[in-house]
Amino acid sequence: ISVMEATKACIENIKTYDKEYNCFITVDEEGAFKQAEEIQKKIDSGELTGPLAGVPIAIKDNMCQNGVLTTCASKILSNFVPTYTSDAVVKLMEAGAVIVGKTNMDEFAMGSTTETSYYGETKNPWDTNKVPGGSSGGSAAAVAAEEVPCALGSDTGGSIRQPAAFCGVTGIKPTYGRVSRYGLVAYGSSLDQIGPLAKNVTDCATILEIISRYDKKDSTSVERTDNDFTSALKDDVKGMRIGLPKDYFTEGLDPEIKDAVYHVAEVLKEKGAIVEEFDLGMVEYAIPAYYIIASAEASSNLERFDGVKYGYRTAEYTDLHNMYKKTRSEGFGAEVKRRIMLGSFTLSSGYYDAYYVKALKVKALIKQAYDKAFAKYDIILGPVAPTTALTMGESLSDPIKMYLGDVYTVPVNLAGLPGISLPCGYDKDGMPIGVQMVGDAFNEKAIIQAAYAFE
């Protein structure tokens, strides 16, 4: 099958299914066909080989693509067409992937349900009354609905892993610094990472291998030589040491999810892994610390959206300050405003030490707790989220409830570690359950190996 045929089939699928699921904000049909033609020529001339040559892929709409609308699912960027492309997307293009469009998300990646998008919510293809998770809900649902074989998402506190779990697909949040953040619209800069979502571990490892290269345009990008992730795709976990954090399996966790995760531990044990329970610690402090740090960084990062240089500008105003105020009042949604207010508060003088500095100390202690665990274990196995996909609307009225759902994913970002989420069963309503495997810094190979052996 030719690249053009594959691209056309993919775009047809999007057109058919996306009316119902709303996974995409932009479908770049013209651009995709143009890329397909060029890639075909390069394949025919032998210039381009490799696993992604001619593969259609979708990109979360917080990654810039030159000439393509990039909205972050916000009204304030509803007219923003960047003049450059994010580094991860450049690397995909160089590998011959065809970028077919930009996927829906929670506004500025703040949320866990993809309901806060200015472009309407994405629906979970398994049950359209349920959310797909978030914030990379469009990417996860697009893969689940087979609109695309794979997609990129971003993960600040779980936004790749949790939607992957809710939609029954696989996703990897790499170690902080592994993938360049250049061209990713910043939310919590010290936590944000780009990563793949796909049908299986092999596809995720293949994409990750391509996008994780050192990039001097991102000062936090780390130069590494150990990104041959596909070499970890072997069905062998003999002697692998796996830790099950006891403090993850407490009351708040749905018993069906607990059973499913323990089943994963059993399977890996049968294959020769050494599984042990242990106390990770610090679990109850992760959510408050995360929401203080992420909101603080967000309040600073979002200062640039003021109606002056780009993006939406209010229609009528009296002076410059009135223009800022009206633009931002009209341009941002409720959840984004909530975070800006929280972040501005915790960074203000008098409160900075009490909240922000304290949260940074908690962050350091969480990292220490993981360091201690990784002295004993190769991977940590646990749930991705306390529940399966929520019903639409459930958490919109109760943001705290939504924040609490991030308990198993946010500590991993605070510690900068790699995590994979993959399907491990279904609940009584037939909704997918995900399992999370966390590795030590830059040890993506361990989680890929264990995930592949279980899958």
Shorter beta-carbon distance to ligand GLN: residue 158 or 439: 158
User: CA-CA distance, 307 to 65, in Å (whole number)?
Assistant: 21
Tokens 């109606």 sit at which residue?
A: 307
379-383/170-173 β-pairing:
unpaired
**Kindly report the CA angle at 62 between 58 and 65, in degrees rounded to 5?**
65
Show Cβ contacts of residue 357 under 8 Å, excluding neighbours closer than 6 positions: none
User: CA-CA distance, 240 to 179, in Å (whole number)?
Assistant: 26
Shorter beta-carbon distance to ligand GLN: residue 159 or 221: 159
User: CA-CA distance, 448 to 398, in Å (whole number)?
Assistant: 35
Site for ligand GLN (CB under 6 A): which residue of 7, 22, 139, 156?
Answer: 156
Q: How many CB atoms lie within 10 A of CB 203?
A: 20
Binding window for ligand GLN (CB under 6 A); candidates: 13-21, 110-118, 140-148, 379-387: 110-118
Shortest CB 78 distance to ligand GLN, Å: 20
Shorter beta-carbon distance to ligand GLN: residue 287 or 441: 287
Binding window for ligand GLN (CB under 6 A); candidates: 73-81, 151-159, 271-279, 362-370: 151-159
Q: Which of 74, 112, 139, 159 is catalytic?
A: 159
Which residues, listed in sequence order, are joined to residue 381 by a DSSP beta bridge? 437
Shortest CB 114 distance to ligand GLN, Å: 11
Q: Note whether 122 binds ligand GLN by CB under 6 A.
A: no
User: CA-CA distance, 233 to 230, in Å (whole number)?
Assistant: 5
Binding window for ligand GLN (CB under 6 A); candidates: 28-36, 104-112, 207-215, 365-373: 104-112
Binding window for ligand GLN (CB under 6 A); candidates: 107-115, 319-327, 350-358, 418-426: 107-115
* Distance (Å) of CA 428 to CA 239, 431, 433: 34, 7, 10
User: CA-CA distance, 43 to 50, in Å (whole number)?
Assistant: 10
Binding residues for ligand GLN restricted to 368-427, rule: CB under 6 A = 406
Contact at 8 Å (CB) between 159 and 135?
yes
Residue among 335, 384, 386, 392 nearest 123 (CA): 392
- Total residues contacting ligand GLN by CB under 6 A comes to 13
Shorter beta-carbon distance to ligand GLN: residue 56 or 163: 163
Contact at 8 Å (CB) between 65 and 101?
no
Site for ligand GLN (CB under 6 A): which residue of 158, 183, 245, 307?
Answer: 158
Task: Output the residue with the shortest Cβ distance to ligand GLN.
Answer: 159
User: CA-CA distance, 155 to 133, in Å (whole number)?
Assistant: 12
Tokens 């996909």 sit at which residue?
A: 389
Active site residue 159: yes
Shortest CB 36 distance to ligand GLN, Å: 31
Shortest CB 190 distance to ligand GLN, Å: 13
Tokens 């979970």 sit at which residue?
A: 124
Q: Note whether 121 binds ligand GLN by CB under 6 A.
A: no
Shorter beta-carbon distance to ligand GLN: residue 112 or 327: 112
Shorter beta-carbon distance to ligand GLN: residue 109 or 340: 109
Binding window for ligand GLN (CB under 6 A); candidates: 21-29, 149-157, 225-233, 435-443: 149-157
Shorter beta-carbon distance to ligand GLN: residue 73 or 275: 73
Shortest CB 298 distance to ligand GLN, Å: 8
Contact at 8 Å (CB) between 164 and 170?
yes
**Strand, coil or helix: what is 146?**
coil
Find the distance separating the first CA and the last CA of the chain, reported in whole Å: 28
Tokens read off for 138: 């469009």
Shortest CB 343 distance to ligand GLN, Å: 11
Q: What is the per-residue binding string for ligand GLN in 293-312, x denoting contact by CB under 6 A?
A: -x------------------
**Kindly report the CA angle at 9 between 114 and 58, in degrees rounded to 5?**
35
Amino acid at 263: H
Q: Which of 60, 91, 102, 130 is catalytic?
A: 60
Site for ligand GLN (CB under 6 A): which residue of 135, 301, 346, 387?
Answer: 135
Q: Note whether 111 binds ligand GLN by CB under 6 A.
A: yes
Contact at 8 Å (CB) between 380 and 438?
yes
Binding residues for ligand GLN restricted to 339-368, rule: CB under 6 A = none
Binding window for ligand GLN (CB under 6 A); candidates: 108-116, 125-133, 205-213, 260-268: 108-116
Q: Note whether 112 binds ligand GLN by CB under 6 A.
A: yes
Q: What is the DSSP letter of 109?
A: G
The residues that touch ligand GLN, with contacts defined as CB under 6 A, are 109-112, 135, 155-159, 187, 294, 406
* Catalytic positions, written as ranges: 60, 135, 159
